[in-house]
Structure 1
Amino acid sequence: MKKRFTLFILMLSICSFGLFAQSIPTPKSHFGFDIGDDYKLATFSQSEAYFKKVADASDRVKLVEIGKTEYGRTHPMMIVTAPANFEKLDRYKEISQTLARAEISKEEAEKLVIEGKPVVWIDGGLHANEVVGPHQLIETLYQLASRTDEETMKILDNVIILLVHANPDGMEIMSDWYMRKDNPEERDQNIPILYQKYVGHDNNRDFYMNNMSEAANMSLQQYVEWIPQIIYNHHQSGPAGTVVAGPPYRDPFNHVFDPLIITSLDAVGAAMINKLHQEDKPGYTRLDGSVFSTWWNGGLRTTPYYHNIIGILTEIIGNPTPSTVPLVPDRLIPNNGTPYPVTPQDWHFRRSIDYSVSLNYGILNHAVRHGDELLYNIYLMGRNAIEKGSKDNWTMYPKYAQAVQEEFEASQKKKSEDDEDAVYFGFRSGIPTQFYDSVYKDPARRDPRGYILSADQPDFQTAIKFLNALIKSGILVHKATADFTVNGKSYPAGSYVVKTDQAFRPHVIDMFEPQDHPNDFLYPGGPPIRPYDAAGWTLAFQMGSEIDRVMDDFDGPFERMPYGEILQPEAKPLVSGSGYLLDARGNNSFMAVNDLLQAKVKVYRTNTAVNGLPAGSFYVGGAGKKVLEKAAQEYGVYPVAAKGIPSGAKEIKPARIGLFDYYGGSMPSGWVRWMMEQFHFPYQLVFPKEIDGGNLNDKYDVLVFIGPGIPSENSRGYNRRQPKEEDIPEEYRKMLGGISVDKSIPQLEEFIKNGGNVITVGDATDLAYHLDLPVENSLVEMGPNGEPRPLSGEKYYVPGSVLEMHVDNSVPANYGMGEKAYIMFNRSPVFKLSPNAGNVGVKPIAWFGEEEPLKSGWAWGQSYLKNGVTAFEAKIGDGKLFAFGPEITFRAQSHGTFKMLFNGLYK
Structure 2
Amino acid sequence: MARKFYGMLSLLLSAATAWAQTVPSPKEHFGFNIGDDYQLATYTQTAAYFKKLAASDRTALVDIGMTEEGRHQYMLIVSAPENIKALNRYKDISQKLGHALGLTDETARQLSAEGKAVVWIDGGLHATETVGAHQLIETMYQLVTRTDAETMNILQNDIILLAHANPDGQELVSNWYMRTADPKKRALNIPRLYEKYVGHDNNRDFYMMNMKESQNISRQLFVEWIPQIMYNHHQRGPAGSVLAGPPYRDPFNHIYDPLIVTSIDAVGAAMNNRLNAENKPGYTQRNGSTFSTWWNGGLRTTPYFHNMVGLLTEIIGGPTPETVPLVPDRLIPNGATPNPIVPQEWHFRQSIDYSVSLNYAVLDYAARYRSELLFNIYRMGKNGIDRGSADHWTFYPRYVDSIRTAYKFDKKNDSTTEGETGGGEFSFGKEDTIATKYYAGVLKNPDYRDARAYIISADQPDFPTAVKFINALSRSGITIHKASAPFSVDGKQYPAGSYVVKTAQAFRPHVIDMFEPQDHPNDFQYVGGPPIRPYDAAGWTLAYQMGVQFDRILTAFDGPFAQLPYGQVESPLSTTLPVAKKGYLIDPAANNAFIAVNDLLKAGVKVSRTDKGVFYVPAGAKSESVLSKATTELGILVSAADAVPAKLKAATPLRIGIWNTYGGSIPAGWLSWLMEQYHYSYNFLYSQEVDKGDLRKKYDMLIFVTGAIPDTGKPKKSDYWFGKLPKPEELSDEFKPWLGRINKDTSIPQLKKFLEAGGKIVTIGTSTNLAYHLQLPVENALTEKNKKGELKPLPGTKYYIPGSLLIADLDTTAAENWGMPAKNDVYFDRSPVFRFTDGAAGAGMRKLIWFSTETPLHSGWAWGQQYLKGGIAAFSVPVGAGTLYAFGPEITFRGQSHGTFKLLFNQLYK
Q: TM-score, normalised by structure 1?
A: 0.96
Residues 199 and 667, structure 1, Cα contact 8 Å, conserved in 2? yes
CA distance in 1 between counterparts of 2:133 and 2:422 reads: 61
How far did 1:621 drift?
2.8
Aligned amino acid, residue 462 of structure 2: D
Alignment partner of 2:478: what SS? coil
CA distance in 2: counterparts of 1:780 and 1:20, whole angstroms: 71
Q: Which secondary structure does the structure 1 equivalent of 2:735 belong to?
A: helix
Separation (CA, whole Å) in 1 of partners of 2:549 and 2:663: 39
1:208 corresponding residue in structure 2: 207
Counterpart-to-counterpart distance in 2, 1:423 and 1:381: 36
For residue 443 of structure 1, what is the amino acid of its counterpart?
Answer: P
Query: 2: distance between equivalents of 1:428 and 1:192?
Result: 58
1:593 maps to what in 2?
597
Indicate how the Cα distance of structure 1 residues 20 and 309 shifts in structure 2: closer, same or farther if over 3 A, else same: same
Q: Secondary structure at the match of 1:840?
A: coil
Q: Name 1:758's counterpart in structure 2.
A: 761
Task: Give the Cα separation in 2 of the matches to 1:789 and 1:34.
Answer: 56
1:4-46 CA-partner distances (Å, limit 9, x unpaired)? xxxxxxx9xx999879920211000011000000000111111
1:8 alignment partner in structure 2: none
Structure 1 residue aligned with 2:73: 75
Distance 2:422 2:282 in 1: 49
Count of paired positions: 886
Matches within 5 A, 1:291-310: 291-310=290-309
1:620 deviation in Å? 4.2
C-alpha deviation, 1:62, in angstroms? 1.3
- Structure 2: how far apart are the matches of 1:798 and 1:846? 18
CA–CA distance in structure 2, aligned partners of residues 572 and 704 of structure 1: 34
Partner of 1:22: 21
Q: Aligned AA for 1:480?
A: A
- Correspondence for 2:738: 735
1:365 alignment partner in structure 2: 364
Structure 1 residues 199-232: Cα deviation after superposition (integer angstroms, max 9, x where no partner):
1001100000000111110000000000100000
Give the whole-Å Cα distance in 2 for the aligned partners of 1:551 and 1:582: 37
Range 273-282 or range 355-364, more displaced:
273-282
Q: Distance in 2 between matches of 1:280 and 1:220?
A: 38
Matched with 2:100 is 102
Q: How far apart, in 2, do the equivalents of 1:649 and 1:332 lie?
A: 71
Which of 787, 791, 797 is the matching residue for 1:788?
Answer: 791
Retained in 2: the 8 A contact 1:657–1:683?
A: yes
Task: Specify the alignment match of 2:573 in structure 1.
Answer: 570
CA distance in 1, matches of 2:194, 2:19: 35
Matched, 1:621 2:619: yes
Partner residue in 2 for 1:492: 495
What TM-score does the superposition give when structure 2 sets the normalisation length? 0.96
Aligned partners of 1:684 and 1:326: how far apart in 2? 42
The answer to whether the 8 Å contact 1:583/1:618 transfers is no
Counterpart position of 1:658: 657
Does the alignment pair 1:804 with 2:807? Answer: yes
Residues 620, 462 of structure 1: alpha-carbon distance in 2 compared, 3 angstrom cutoff: farther
Aligned to 2:445: 442
Structure 1 residue 616: deviation in Å? 3.8
1:814 aligns with 2:817: yes
Alpha-carbon deviation of 1:785? 2.8
Aligned to 2:196: 197
Give the Cα–Cα distance (whole angstroms) in 2 for the partners of residues 311 and 367 of structure 1. 13
Matched with 2:536 is: 533
The unaligned stretches of length 5 or more in structure 2 are 1-9, 424-429
CA distance in 2, matches of 1:583, 1:724: 51
1:443-522 equivalent positions in 2, closer than 5 A: 443-522=446-525
Displacement of 1:422 after TM fit?
A: 13
Distance 1:19 1:840 in 2: 83
Aligned to 2:163: 164
Residue identity opposite 1:693 in structure 2:
K
1:242 — aligned with what? 241
Question: Which of 599, 602, 606 is the equivalent residue of 2:606?
Answer: 602
Q: Which residue of 2 aligns with 1:6?
A: none
Larger deviation: 173-182 or 728-737? 728-737
1:772 aligns with 775
Amino acid across the alignment from 2:881: D
Q: In 2, Cα distance between the equivalents of 1:770 and 1:875?
A: 15
Q: Distance in 2 between matches of 1:729 and 1:39?
A: 22
AA partner of residue 201 (structure 1) = H
**CA–CA separation in structure 2 for the residues paired with 1:81 and 1:425:** 60
Give 3-state SS (helix, strand or coil) of 1:263's partner. helix
1:389 aligns with 2:412: no
Higher mean displacement: 742-751 or 254-263: 742-751
Q: Distance in 2 between matches of 1:620 and 1:331?
A: 71
* Structure 1 position 742, deviation (Å): 1.4
Q: How does 1:39-54 map to 2 (within 5 A)?
A: 39-54=38-53
Cα deviation code 1:216-263 (max 9, x no counterpart): 100000000001000000000111111111000000000000000000
1:30-78: CA deviations, max 9, x gaps? 110000000001111110111111112x111111100011001011100
SS in 2 for 1:458: coil
User: Unaligned 5+ residue runs, structure 1?
Assistant: 1-10, 609-614
Query: How far apart, in 2, do the equivalents of 1:412 and 1:425 lie?
Result: 14
Whole-Å separation in 1 of the counterparts to 2:219 and 2:482: 21
Match of 1:831 among 826, 831, 834: 834
Is the contact between residue 710 and residue 717 of structure 1 (CA under 8 Å) also seen in structure 2?
Answer: no
Partner of 1:407: 406
Q: Distance in 1 between matches of 2:885 and 2:499?
A: 37
For residues 851-884 of structure 1, give each alpha carbon's deviation from its aligned partner in whole angstroms, at most 9, with x where no partner exists. Answer: 0100001000000010000000011111100000
1:86 to 80, 84, 87: 84
Partner of 1:288: 287
Cα shift at 1:836: 2.3
SS in 2 for 1:773: coil
- Residue 301 (structure 1) shift: 0.4
Once the two structures are superposed, residues 112-143 of structure 1 have per-residue CA deviations (whole angstroms, 9 ceiling, x without a partner) of: 11211110000001001100000000000000
Structure 2 contact 120–231 (Cα < 8 Å) conserved: yes
Distance 1:151 1:633 in 2: 58
Instruction: Give the conservation status (yes or no) of the 8 Å contact 1:716–1:742.
Output: no
Looking at structure 2, the residues matched to 869 and 428 of structure 1 have their Cα atoms a distance apart, in angstroms, of 44
Residue 354 (1) aligns with residue 357 (2): no
- The answer on whether the counterparts of 1:390 and 1:500 sit within 8 Å (CA) in structure 2 is yes
How far 1:717 sits from its partner (Å)?
7.0
Is the CA contact (8 Å cut-off) linking 2:419 and 2:433 kept in structure 1?
no
**Deviation string, structure 1 residues 614-657 (Cα, Å, up to 9, x no partner):** x4444443341100011112211231111232111212111111
CA contact (8 A) 1:514 1:536 kept: yes
**For residue 745 of structure 1, what is the aligned residue in structure 2?**
748
- Counterpart of 1:3? none
Report the AA paired with residue 600 of structure 1: G
Residues 655-678 of structure 1 deviation map (CA, whole Å, 9 limit, x = unaligned): 111111011100001100000000
**In 1, Cα distance between equivalents of 2:596 and 2:276:** 61
What SS does the aligned partner of 1:838 have? Answer: coil
Please say if residues 703 and 757 of structure 1, whose CA atoms lie closer than 8 Å, have aligned partners that are also in contact.
Answer: yes
Secondary structure of 2:172's partner?
helix
Q: Is the 8 A contact 2:59 2:84 kept in 1?
A: no
Choose the corresponding residue for 1:581, options 576, 582, 585. Answer: 585
CA distance in 2: counterparts of 1:895 and 1:447, whole angstroms = 26
Q: Is the 8 A contact 1:617 1:816 kept in 2?
A: no
Give per-residue Cα distances to partners, 1:525-576, cap 9 Å, x unaligned. 0000111001110001000011111111111111111111100122344221
Q: Is the 8 A contact 1:717 1:739 kept in 2?
A: no
Give the counterpart letter for 2:83 in structure 1: N
Q: Distance in 2 between matches of 1:749 and 1:790?
A: 27
Task: Report if the CA contact (8 A) 2:259-2:380 is conserved.
Answer: yes
Whole-angstrom CA distance in 2 between matches of 1:429 and 1:651: 66
Mapped partners of 1:744, 1:276: distance in 2: 52
| In 1: Cα distance, 2:432 partner to 2:321 partner | 57
Question: In structure 1, what is the Cα distance between the partners aligned to 2:762 and 2:420?
Answer: 62
Aligned-partner SS, 1:282:
coil
Q: Name the CA shift for 1:422/1:93 in 2 (closer, same or farther; >3 Å).
A: closer
